[in-house]
Structure 1
Amino acid sequence: MRLSKFTRTALATVVCGGTLLTAAMPTQANKDLDKLSKEDANWAMQTKDYNASHFSTMNQINARNVHHLQPVWSFSTGVLNGHEGGPLVVDGIMYVHSPFPNNIFAIDLDDHDKILWEYKPKQNPAARAVACCDVVNRGLAYAPAGKDYPATIFQNQLDGHITALDAKTGKLLWKMENSDIAMGSTLTIAPFVAKDLVIVGSSGAELGVRGYATAYSIKDGKQVWRVYAAGPDEDIKLAKDFNSANPHYGQFGLGLKTWEGDAWKIGGGTNWGWYAFDPDLDMLYYGSGNPAPWNETMRPGDNKWTMTIWGRDINTGEAKFGYQKTPHDEWDYAGVNYMGLSEQMVDGKMTKLLTHPDRNGLVYTLNRENGSLVNAFKIDDTVNWVKKVDLKTGLPIRDPEFSTHMDHEAKGICPSAMGYHNQGIESYDPNKKLFFMGINHICMDWEPFMLPYRAGQFFVGATLNMYPGPKGTLGQVKAMDSVTGEFKWEIQEKFAVWGGTTATAGDLVFYGTLDGYIKALDSKSGKELWKFKLPSGVIGHPITYAHKGIQYVAIYYGVGGWPGVGLVFDLQDPTAGLGAVGAFKELAHYTQQGGGVMVFALGNIRS
């Protein structure tokens, strides 16, 4: 067994790099974090790195020996709701988080039987009542030490606060209120660190929250900028040359003109998914989510700039481009999903790309320098609300049979509101030029109804019935070339693959299943090579790290989230949980609640 040459070098860098990180200037925090993210001993970001590759160059565990993988230790968080995201590992310390009440634990990997420190925040329990789809939390963020602050762990609390903790001691450094739960605005997103900023999104579109993203200073939590998804251009922060390369996407004044009256003020567009960052371009990428309410009749117009892929200047928040994938969304296809950055050949030229598998069942690849659309194709041939995307205009060509307007009986819509892809972080193997994606395969019937807006109350306006898609299962894993749209292989899963994938240079793809397995596939063929039954279902993502020359794989268990909401809250009505209960009615026969992290290594390793 061995680590790759890259990994052995990285391990040596970790050992000797502590002093350098401590002495770093605040403006170079991104460089230090970027460095940590490339050292495979660490897993310092939820997305693994700024590209959101979720890929490790380690190959000690590989396709030939992965069947020898065994559990070596585990840790319970003491919380039973859905565990999304994954732990962080930085310089021999694992940082573990939980869903509400959002406890944090630091574990020294030299002595994993003992908790190094813990942080149990006091927060407003009323947040539970306004949280959509379970009280999940997508993880922590880490910032290396700067001149004016220590190494810091950031956490978003469900009640709308962002907290900064000393990574060595767990001491609270500062705390800021980002969201007002009285208006239904909560926080489930993982914070994102870039340069000397920590970026935070927003949740609550199902309660009419107007979505925004905010940058805070790592040092003291002071707000640096805030940008909205809808409203006046100055609130959205459109650059003077916004969409200059693609004026057909739309440019100025549309955050007001594409809404009726003041509907934009309660129009959604929150962002609770994942960010990516290109340090060379100083650009931040993310997606804004669904408009509110779900009932499309109540909000005529394109509802810009909900459902949009954004490319923004990290320093100012100004939008360089915005591409709206689903104008006037009718299906809750919230476009906040994974943003994967890669460099690939397009028309004979090496091109900076952004690939985004959307809730709407389409995979989009854009030139991330200017937002130009390179490709858009169906993630599965059963997607039916859209016939195709016009690559010249960027607009979807819809099938009116699957519209959800008030006077139409909408049945058999694929995908469901859960999307064929939801919150999971996916992986990209730069050697194979392939993305590996966990998929939901769920369709729905949709019955809209009218309702008034009341602050802090659900503002949806639709009853949903969900069920397995035409292929008969609820989930899939696929290997995909994002430039050509070619799928190399596909496997079926009984339940949705909610948490995403992690790929390695050992020709492996790891992922977890809702019924409680962690699995490893051969990344070349999709063949299942190993699986292990966990104490509860998985809605988070695997990570892999190294400690003292040994490669480990770790994953949260703890069923819940939107697919597990019926199990968590003991719901029986198939339309409850915004339709999830019907789709996952069999889940309780395969797993029950739990909450923790389990760590694996090859069979001759014991700790």
Structure 2
Amino acid sequence: MVPAAAGRLAFGADGYEGRNVKMKITNLSVAALAATGLFVSGAVAEPATPERLEMSAMGDEAANWLTVHGNYSSHRYSPLDEITPENVGDMELAFAVPLGGTEPSAFGAGAMETTPLVKDGKLYVTDPWGTPYKIDVSSGEKGQIEWICDTAVDRDPSLGILVANRGLALSGDLVVTNLPDGRVVACDDASGDIVWEKQVADQPGEGFTGAPLAVGDKIIVGQSYGDWATRGWIAALDAATGDEIWRFYTVPEPGQPGSETWLCEESGNPDCWKTGGAAAWVTGSYDPETNTLIYGTGNPVPMYDPEYRPGDNLYSNSAIALDADTGELKWHFQYTPGDYLDYDEVGSHLLIDQEVDGEMRKVVAHFGRNGIFYNLDRNNGSFINSGQYVEKLNWTPGIDPKTGKPVNYDPNASLQSYAEDVTLRRDGGPIENCPHLQGGINFWPTAYNPETGQAYGHSIEGCSELETVPVAPEDVIPGTIFTGGSNSDSGEMDGSILRVNAATGEVDNKTIREYPGYAGVMLTPGLVWVGELDGTFGAYDADTLEQLWSINVGGVFKAPAMTYAVDGKQYVAITAGPLGLGSFGHPEIEQTQVANMLYVFAL
């Protein structure tokens, strides 16, 4: 356990050697720490049991946000209603907590993309390096750090790892984090000491950015490095020990179902599947009734050169349903076969029970990165309906209403051409694709209000330019970034907050914002909560999408908000950090300085 005031020393900053200082600090007794005022003790917390996790942000657990997407259905909706459209204008900053993790990686400052968790007045959050913090927020007046779990992650920029982290999992008396170096670490809830750690991702270039998901006695993790020359997978670990129980590879090896969609021999490189990508870098959803995990998968690799890996490339760009006990594939739906536009579909998959065409259906709803909103049958993955949600979309003329595939999809072709002027080939020039290569809606979470049947998203509105740059197989270095091309923005882009009728897939309201969406949304009764790239955090009327309240804190929001209650009082929390990769044509935000912060607001 590393006390808050010593955090800089323990993490090797300011010229001190981190591990030596850590050993010195961790030998201090709890009593000694308490005497210095650096340790905040409290009553023994109730564990995060499977029963509690299943009720997260609902019913008796409405005051708590126990899983990264609010609940297993990924709704990011809370029934807490002390803050209303009528009084939200009186919101004020309750307190803020500075966080660490500002050390640069090979790609600059790490991204604050984490969603805090709250259990019984204690808030749990990570910094960009995946370091867990436990913060006492029970007073409502300040956030007092109780412990920082020292994972000893190596912050050497020369390692070439991408630094971002999207949150934690609570499981029993454990706080579980995924790390960019491929380890999964479980910290003791009471002390912050490490209970177990496992090197789960152990091949070159593998690592984690997505939050783990606690399901029953298991921790579910997904290999996150989706643009590297790696092979994606999802694994289940024993929550008590970290031992691996099963692993499902999202790129099948030869002879396995789906391998016939990797026509590697045709490319002259029979091993193209070994670096096929399809990473699972965002936390999935879980259906307890059928014991089914539903995850989205990323693009095939290389992303801009389909001739390197001909075929549909299963199970990239897909929704996949796995048996939580065995990891066996139940069904899949591939959104964009043979993708060459970087349209990962790792984003939230909303589990919804709703009436469609007069019939009650169990549905998976998804805002595709490709600009299309999809409804799928949750029992078998069959297509129900879809609708376009971005303003500009040119990569396909539309979606086949029977199959859900792009209308120009050819199941007999090894290379797809969804629109004549928006097709990448080695002998072709650059193309402009809309939506932008990051979407639409990318990894940042969407939300669903079960009371109204409406889904909400925070989107980029704009286009990008792409070009293929071939790389010979012998020049590919496993575990390094492998794009097979280049990309750039098509001028200045804006964004939107939008609402979709989830039953039909049709947009029924949208408001255009100055900055592209990158943070995601959270819902409470009557309100939509959104953070933006210029540091503005706002609350919007859920019906009109009119901004009812806002504050600018000067950082960058790349994470969604969450809400919780202590002693009946409601709070809204969100993390902010540096700009990181790309300003989307907005030079005025490029000078934003590195500062990782937790902000908490209340009436």
Q: Give me the TM-score of the superposition, normalised by structure 2.
A: 0.85
- In the other structure, the counterpart of 2:74 is 52
Confirm or deny: 8 A CA contact 1:86 1:139 kept in the other structure: yes
Distance 1:46 1:162 in 2: 16
1:545 aligns with 2:564: yes
Distance 2:602 2:228 in 1: 44
Alignment-mate amino acid for residue 123 of structure 1? V
Distance 1:309 1:514 in 2: 29
Deviation at 1:126, TM superposition (A): 5.0
SS at match of 1:205: coil
- In the other structure, the counterpart of 2:111 is 82
1:116-170 CA distances to partner (integer Å, 9 max, x unpaired)? Answer: 11112212335774334xx110011111x3xxxxx11110011110001111211
Distance 1:582 1:510 in 2: 22
Alignment-mate amino acid for residue 92 of structure 1? G
Deviation at 1:256, TM superposition (A): 4.8
1:475 aligns with 2:485: no
Decide which of 254, 260, 277 is 1:254's aligned counterpart: 260
Distance 1:228 1:128 in 2: 29
Alignment-mate amino acid for residue 220 of structure 2? I
Confirm or deny: 8 A CA contact 1:403 1:410 kept in the other structure: no
Confirm or deny: 8 A CA contact 2:96 2:143 kept in the other structure: no
1:254-306 CA distances to partner (integer Å, 9 max, x unpaired)? Answer: 35557752211111111101310110011100111111112222111111111
- In the other structure, the counterpart of 1:275 is 284
Deviation at 1:233, TM superposition (A): 7.7
Distance 1:582 1:381 in 2: 17
SS at match of 1:198: strand
Deviation at 1:252, TM superposition (A): 5.3
- In the other structure, the counterpart of 2:536 is 517
Alignment-mate amino acid for residue 291 of structure 2? D
- In the other structure, the counterpart of 1:588 is 590
Residue 581 to residue 552, structure 1, CA distance change in 2 (3 Å): closer
Distance 2:258 2:228 in 1: 27
Decide which of 81, 84, 99 is 1:62's aligned counterpart: 84
SS at match of 2:578: coil
Confirm or deny: 8 A CA contact 2:253 2:273 kept in the other structure: no
Confirm or deny: 8 A CA contact 1:362 1:376 kept in the other structure: yes
Residue correspondence of structure 1 range 32-181 to structure 2 within 5 A: 32-38=52-58, 39-80=61-102, 81-100=110-129, 102-111=130-139, 112-126=142-156, 129-132=159-162, 135-143=163-171, 145=172, 151-180=173-202
- In the other structure, the counterpart of 1:489 is 509
Aligned length: 533
- In the other structure, the counterpart of 1:435 is 455
Confirm or deny: 8 A CA contact 2:386 2:504 kept in the other structure: no
SS at match of 1:432: coil
Deviation at 1:19, TM superposition (A): 9.9
Distance 1:530 1:369 in 2: 41
Confirm or deny: 8 A CA contact 1:232 1:253 kept in the other structure: yes
Confirm or deny: 8 A CA contact 1:231 1:255 kept in the other structure: no
Confirm or deny: 8 A CA contact 2:261 2:312 kept in the other structure: no
Distance 1:113 1:274 in 2: 27
Deviation at 1:234, TM superposition (A): 8.0
Confirm or deny: 8 A CA contact 2:534 2:554 kept in the other structure: no
1:441-491 CA distances to partner (integer Å, 9 max, x unpaired)? Answer: 1311112111231123221121111135xxx74211101112212222111
Distance 2:221 2:440 in 1: 25
Alignment-mate amino acid for residue 479 of structure 2? G
SS at match of 1:33: helix
Distance 1:494 1:84 in 2: 21
1:211 aligns with 2:232: yes
Alignment-mate amino acid for residue 186 of structure 1? G
Distance 1:396 1:126 in 2: 43
Question: Which stretch of the first structure deviates more once superposed, 392-401 or 348-357?
Answer: 392-401
- In the other structure, the counterpart of 2:484 is 461
SS at match of 1:265: helix
Confirm or deny: 8 A CA contact 1:127 1:158 kept in the other structure: no
- In the other structure, the counterpart of 1:338 is 348
SS at match of 2:55: helix
Distance 1:223 1:234 in 2: 24
Question: Which stretch of the first structure deviates more once superposed, 213-222 or 446-455?
Answer: 446-455
Distance 1:467 1:547 in 2: 46
1:449 aligns with 2:450: no
Distance 1:43 1:448 in 2: 44
1:532-583 CA distances to partner (integer Å, 9 max, x unpaired)? Answer: 11131100010111011110111101133xxx32xxxxxxxxxxxxxx4664
Deviation at 1:113, TM superposition (A): 4.6
1:406 aligns with 2:436: no
Distance 1:596 1:223 in 2: 34
Distance 2:259 2:487 in 1: 34
1:400-450 CA distances to partner (integer Å, 9 max, x unpaired)? Answer: 210111222233210122111111111111111111100011311112111
Residue 464 to residue 61, structure 1, CA distance change in 2 (3 Å): same
Deviation at 1:205, TM superposition (A): 2.8
Distance 1:171 1:37 in 2: 27
Decide which of 342, 358, 364 is 2:368's aligned counterpart: 358
Distance 2:558 2:574 in 1: 10
SS at match of 1:254: helix
Distance 2:378 2:452 in 1: 21
Residue correspondence of structure 1 range 233-382 to structure 2 within 5 A: 253-254=259-260, 256=262, 260=266, 261-294=270-303, 295-382=305-392
Residue 128 to residue 379, structure 1, CA distance change in 2 (3 Å): farther
SS at match of 1:206: coil
Structure 2 residues without counterparts, runs of 5 or longer: 1-42, 103-109, 408-417
- In the other structure, the counterpart of 1:12 is none
Confirm or deny: 8 A CA contact 1:46 1:139 kept in the other structure: yes
Question: Which stretch of the first structure deviates more once superposed, 403-412 or 277-286?
Answer: 403-412
Structure 1 residues without counterparts, runs of 5 or longer: 1-17, 146-150, 236-250, 566-579, 603-607
- In the other structure, the counterpart of 1:228 is 249
Alignment-mate amino acid for residue 548 of structure 1? D
Deviation at 1:67, TM superposition (A): 0.4
Alignment-mate amino acid for residue 326 of structure 1? T
- In the other structure, the counterpart of 1:9 is none
Residue 475 to residue 97, structure 1, CA distance change in 2 (3 Å): same
SS at match of 2:246: strand
SS at match of 2:164: coil
Confirm or deny: 8 A CA contact 1:94 1:109 kept in the other structure: yes
SS at match of 2:445: coil
1:308-351 CA distances to partner (integer Å, 9 max, x unpaired)? Answer: 11011111111110111111111111111111111110122211
SS at match of 2:298: coil
Deviation at 1:74, TM superposition (A): 0.5
Deviation at 1:51, TM superposition (A): 0.7
